[in-house]
Amino acid sequence: MKKIQGRGTLEAVDGRLDIVVNINGADKALRVAPGEYLLDALRREGYKGVKRGCDNGDCGTCTILLDGKPALSCMMFAAQAHRRRVVTIEGLGTPDRPHPIQRAFVETGAVQCGFCIPGMVLAAKALLDENPEPDETAIRRALDGNLCRCTGYVKQVEAVMLAAKKLKAAGRRA
Amino acid sequence: MGVSEKRDFTVVNHRVEKVDALALACGTAQFTDDIDVRGLLTGRLLYSPHAHARIKSIDTREAKKVPGVLAVLTHEDLPRVRHTTAGQGHPEPSPYDTLVLSEKARYVGDRIAAVAAETPEAAEEALARIKVDYEVLPAVFDTLEAIKEGAPVIHDEADSKNIPDARHNICAKFDFEVKESEWFAEADVVVDRWYKTQWAQHCALEPHVTITYFDGDGRLVIRTSTQVPFHCRRITAKVLQVPVKSIRVIKPRIGGGFGSKQEVLLEPVCAALSLATRRPVKIEFTRKETFVSSRTRHPFVVRLKTGAKKDGTITDAHMEVYCDNGAYGAHSLTVMMCSGSHTLPMYQAKNTRFVGRSVYTNLPVGGAYRGFGATQGFFAWESQMDIMAAELGLDPIEFRRKNYIRSGEGSPVFKAMGEGREGIEQKIGSCGMDECISRGLAAIKWYAKKRRYRRQTGPKRRGLGCACMMQGSGIPEVDMAAASIKMNEDGSFNLHMGATDLGTGSDTVLAQIAAEVLGVTTGDIITLSSDTDLTPFDVGAYASSTTFISGNAVKKAALHAREQILKVAARILDEKPQDVDLKDGKARAKSGRSCALSEVAHTAFYYHDQHQIMGVASHYAQSSPPPFAAHFAEVEVDTETGQVTVLDYVATVDCGTAINPALAEGQNDGAVLNGLSYALTEEMLFGPSGAMLNPNFRTYKIFTTADAPPFKTILIPTYEPDGPFGAKSVSEIGINGPQPAIANAVCDAVGVRLLAPPFTPEKVLKAIKEKRAGRPALHLLGG
């Protein structure tokens, strides 16, 4: 029997843990293995927008928001998300109702292959939540953990600038 | 002026939103692994721990006993079909020297066995229980050592084909000479230098991944992250000895490729596991596997011996290249040849000689990589141009201006050197180099800064450097693309293209071309690219071919559909077809009468002379119009630490008409940043056993937002007569500039000539110290 300390004590039954994670605003009961990574659990549950680029915490494509802060889902156990709030890219907006940050990435031409974009959009969201009017340095610092090989980052930095403007014009928080 | 030659564009040359961008930004677009397949098995591969070893025996009995393991395969279980993994036109100009699973270990990371299991854990357990009895052989890791008499012979097997000299580890060779006078007889200055470029990896963020399964009719479906779906189908069928018609290759969204996915690597072995288990199987490379066991940029050793007259005329160009191909010969002939065929025509010398050898070593395998040999060739050439200018006492910009190829000019190199075979004669149809140079000089404030930096003191010194480049647009008379376009009753169109969008934006660019011809917006074009069952053929996304070759095919297919639309519309409007135009989603007659495209489609479907309006066309090219580029770097060198900091970087590029300027800029930005980190940090390092030491992003450094120096792309418009609406390629050329431009800028700043990138602080500091000690600055082999 394995015990994981955190928000309450979890006990593994038959090598499985029953956890509850708030994913994109709704509580979801998940049965996971104690050693299962959050990335694997999320993808298994259908959140395919969370990408696997390195499985080593180096590339940022698996970025989610954990209680509002960017986190690497390949570097934490699913059980560590028990009773916490997870936002994946699917929770931010949909093609029918995209979030202004997602629109800004599209409008500036910041999306090429798009594999890094979900993680980068979420990193941008966390930045704009804290700092609604970031300068280029702040943006570059915030996106520093999200590798992209296609774009040279030029238009992605522009996208975050544009998103900040859009949000301000709409008078809303990210 | 007909629609074909129009220059007042409504969709083309506009910053249209990328057609798949919103789905990608919302995480709903599906990459290879973004579907759930019931009963999916995990495939895993066993790799050689030895750089060179004969396999005496493989015992898989214990592995097969692991619960949940359904198949364990070695070379003994598969047809012995020597092939190349290079996804090229048939017959591929690469040696057939590879088996799906190797019968001999030729590098640390060579594939020895494959397993399929119910869980990743069972698959790993099975790999651990495979017993391989190796007889370790002497290995060779150095390009020039490998071709010496007595070096270990890496391909000593009898059944490989098209290896020109296996006994000396030469997997490709090409020699060429044009000589108008005695060598170096007219030259006032002769410069002879050796250059060496490093191993590098593509680092697409999506690792290689393949899922294979059987559909309801028992056909094998390969859903895969590939740049070459049709070559993938052909090669997989051949090596597994199954009919082409039994295979369907589906290309979903692709997370970047840059050439590494031009290799047919995972598909045959994944399919073999599905055939063995009759179950769906997925193989997904880890990042380490992507580094070690996919493909790399071939490192080169280049010798340039060049001569010039006092007035700056280049008289002689002797180029000698040794291309390290690692353990197998993928793209060995073509990458090696492109190092000359894309560089030598740039500055035409009366005497031109190219001597090329591609070489086997016991290291990971070289393959296609953005720039494709031109990157390595231009590092040498553009460094050499600055050295020659200095020897001649000429301004490096003016020296280039005097020599570069102009519009209307040809080169014997175009005819002599193609990709893997003879090329074709061509004259340059468009060349924006002069404006590339002048706009770049102005943007970086070249002359003002040059004056300012003339008197510098202190430990940090600044300098400027430039580099000029060309590339090609597809492979003439080799590459072929086809497309079909089908009209729907609402006036929308399905554009089915063989062309492979791997994140480049080609679906969008090609939709823009179709929309321009059909008088609609990209919102009315539904794109489907590269499904071997559903779309026409295309060689795939490589050689900077898609906009130029596939773009012409799409344009022709759209013109074909347009002709049919005009006929129907003319009947509806009671006009002659030649008096009808397509605009804003309508057919409009000169008389002012118009009808909606939906009415045209309805009429064709239901009312009169019933038929499907559908265009189809193919295209192959008889030219490969080069895009041109000029890059300018401003650096600061810390003479106490050797640190090189890029302060500013300007990359101008003439890609003809930019079909989508935003995407063209993005392509160039990405190529430039890749080039910048290739110049300054990126290098695959190997230990004494031949194992890669840095197979992760922590120790193999690619630039992040914080590392990226300020840089800027400037598009220089020209109009290429052979291109669709004047377009040429843009995707590769930008990667060729940073290495030479930075090397030239460092030399301008501190007077040391760097001949072997990456320009790490250690190398630069060593070069500075040697210069102070008065030793010649020839930092070639690792510095």
Domain end position, chosen among A51, A69, A91:
A91
Segment A149-168 shows an average pLDDT of 98
Count of structural domains, chain A: 2
> Residues 470..529 of B with a Cβ closer than 8 Å to A: which?
502-505
How many residue contacts between A and B have a Cβ separation below 8 Å? 189
Question: For residues B355 and B189, is the Cβ–Cβ distance under 8 A?
Answer: no
Residue A173 located in a structural domain: no
Q: CB–CB of B666 and A109 under 8 A?
A: yes
Assess whether A87 and A104 both reside in one domain: no
Report if pTM > 0.95.
yes
Using the predicted structure, report yes or no on whether residue A1 has a pLDDT greater than 60: no
Which of A102, A112, A137 would you mutate first to test chain B, the one with the most B CBs within 10 A?
A: A112
Q: Which amino acid is at B199?
A: W
Which of B498, B731, B478 minimizes the C-alpha distance to B620?
B478
Assess whether A111 and A64 both reside in one domain: no
Question: For residues B374 and B736, is the Cβ–Cβ distance under 8 A?
Answer: yes
Assess whether A86 and A18 both reside in one domain: yes
Question: For residues A104 and A163, is the Cβ–Cβ distance under 8 A?
Answer: yes
In B348-451, which ranges are E strands?
Answer: 351-360, 366-367
Could you check whether B296-474+623-772 and B480-620 share the same CATH topology?
A: yes
Assess whether A85 and A112 both reside in one domain: no
What's the rounded Cα separation, in Å, for the pair A121 and B77?
46
Please, what CATH class does the domain formed by B480-620 belong to?
alpha beta
Q: What is the pLDDT of residue B436?
A: 98
Q: What is the pLDDT of residue B1?
A: 63
What's the rounded Cα separation, in Å, for the pair A166 and B501?
30
Q: Residue B697: closest CA among chain A residues belongs to which residue?
A: A58
> What is the layout of strands, in order, in the sheet containing B53-59?
B104-105, B53-59, B131-136
Assess whether A72 and A22 both reside in one domain: yes
Assess whether A53 and A119 both reside in one domain: no
Q: What is the pLDDT of residue B782?
A: 40
Segment A158-167 shows an average pLDDT of 98
Q: CB–CB of B25 and A115 under 8 A?
A: no
pLDDT in tens, B636-674: 999 999 999 999 999 999 999 999 999 999 999 999 999
Residues of chain B with pLDDT below 70 are 1, 776-783
Which of A58, A101, A154, A156 would you mutate first to test chain B, the one with the most B CBs within 10 A?
A: A154
DSSP code of residue B686: B
Backbone angles phi, psi at A89, to 5 degrees: -60, -30
Residue A56 located in a structural domain: yes
3-state secondary structure of B117: strand
* Domain boundaries, given as residue ranges, for chain B: 41-137+202-293, 296-474+623-772, 480-620
| Residue B34 forms contact with A (CB below 8 Å) | yes
Query: What is each CA distance from A94 to A117, B22, B728, in whole angstroms?
Result: 14, 8, 35
| The length of chain B, given as a count of residues | 783
pLDDT in tens, A17-65: 999 999 999 999 999 999 999 999 999 999 999 999 999 999 999 999 9
Q: Taking CB atoms and an 8 Å cutoff, what residues of chain A touch B15?
A: 109
Q: What is the pLDDT of residue B418?
A: 84
| The length of chain A, given as a count of residues | 174
Assess whether A70 and A129 both reside in one domain: no
Assess whether A119 and A162 both reside in one domain: yes
- CATH number of the domain located at residue range(s) B296-474+623-772 in this protein: 3.30.365.10
Assess whether A72 and A113 both reside in one domain: no
Q: What is the pLDDT of residue A75?
A: 98
Residue A174 located in a structural domain: no
Assess whether A116 and A60 both reside in one domain: no
| CATH value at residue A126 | 1.10.150.120
Q: What is the pLDDT of residue B518?
A: 98
| CATH value at residue A56 | 3.10.20.30
Q: What is the pLDDT of residue A5?
A: 47
- ipTM tops the 0.85 cut: yes
> Residues 173..232 of B with a Cβ closer than 8 Å to A: which?
202-207
Q: Taking CB atoms and an 8 Å cutoff, what residues of chain A touch B504?
A: 112-113
| Residue B18 forms contact with A (CB below 8 Å) | yes
CATH topology of domain B41-137+202-293: Aldehyde Oxidoreductase; domain 4 (3.30.365)
Q: Which domain holds residue A155?
A: 100-168
